[in-house]
Amino acid sequence: MKVVCLSGGGGGAKIARGLHDALAPGELTVIGNVGDDLEVLGLNVSPDLDSVLYALAGLDDEERGWGRAGETWRTLESAREWGGEGWFLLGDLDLGLHLVRTQALGEGAPLSAVTQRLAETAGVSSRIVPVTDDRLRTHVVTPAGTFRFQEWFVARRHEDEVDAMVYEGAEGARPAPGVLEALEDADAIVVAPSNPYTSIHPILAVAGIRDALHARSGRVVAVSPLIGGRAVKGPLDRMLTRMAGGTTPREVAGCYEGLIGALVVDRADASAEADLPLLVTDTLMTDRATARGLAESVLEVLA
């Protein structure tokens, strides 16, 4: 069974790990968001791709929910003391990866090739591929102004209300090698319970992705990131209320109109109504076992 997962960081990395555990080696391809990539301290950082990589390699800090387990912060502290920017938290172990990636990109390797090499180095049998090798940057339009994604999310603690999103570079970005083929060949396509605006829409904004999904919509299922109308983590409920008018499965499904055949929702939302089939299960992923359980439920529906 060939499965593709469209994923951001947090909840995306969790379900990616669940799918990875539920499937046979090589069956899973994760197409990752790069809209929240950034340059910090001169390094190329891909937070969403790395969250997926760390989760699939078993290197992630499950408790903190981001970054690596056993992380330390000596290099960043030193950089700060020398006058470097310190607003974006980069641990020592994490920095080792960023250094290797930045050097490879600087030598001309595409992000997809670098990501594949990193995954292989970590012994990850699933495929992790950035949606595009081209530059794509998410900006957040708020009443206080337009901010780069991480500036809004991290530095401003995503406190500003969001009026709109801008995916800079998306119109000219081409899918990375293998992305469209993976979508065409997939027996099932899972849209992760990531924030649609910040994690999935930038993927969909890349030329050809939306059409490819539309053509396979019968095999595409999205997992709602809301439980009882509330975001498990992050500002999605506030964003949906403001930009879509509500936080029920109907508004979540509306984020993927014409692209998905069904929406997986939590038991807390079992009584909701929507214009497409709702599949009800437990969607809260508290650890690897529950992530695998959710992945298996989703795959059962799709099989």
Interface contacts to its own copies, rule CB under 8 A? 41-43, 72, 74-84, 92-97, 99-103, 106, 117-118, 121-122
79/180 with CB nearer its own copies: 79
Distance CA 259, CA 266 (A): 20
Q: Is 286 exposed, middle or buried (0-12, 13-18, 19+ CB in 10 A)?
A: exposed
Nearer to its own copies, 7 or 102 (CB): 102
Compare residues 100 and 244 and give the one whose CB is closer to its own copies: 100
Nearer to its own copies, 120 or 211 (CB): 120
Shortest CB 110 distance to its own copies, Å? 16
CB of 197 to its own copies, least distance (A): 30
* Rounded Cα distance, 147 and 12, in Å: 23
**205 burial via Cβ count (<10 Å: 0-12, 13-18, 19+):** buried
Q: Least separation, in Å, of the C-beta of 104 and its own copies?
A: 9
- For residue 133, give the amino acid letter: D
Question: Are β-strands 43-45 and 38-40 bridged in parallel, bridged antiparallel, or unpaired?
Answer: antiparallel
Q: Answer whether 165's CB lies under 8 Å from 141's CB.
A: yes
Rounded (5°) CA angle 22-27-29: 100
Q: Is 177 left (phi over 0), alpha (psi -120 to 50) or beta?
A: beta
Q: Which is nearer to its own copies, 115 or 194 (CB)?
A: 115
Q: By C-beta, is 101 or 219 nearer to its own copies?
A: 101
Nearer to its own copies, 81 or 273 (CB): 81
Measured over the CA atoms of residue 257, residue 259, residue 260 and residue 266, the dihedral's sign is negative
Contact at 8 Å (CB) between 4 and 222? no
3-state secondary structure of 74: helix
Smallest distance, its own copies to C-beta of residue 118, A: 6
For residue 196, the minimal CB distance to its own copies (Å) is: 31
We find the least distance from the C-beta atom of residue 166 to its own copies, in angstroms, to be: 25
We find the least distance from the C-beta atom of residue 87 to its own copies, in angstroms, to be 14
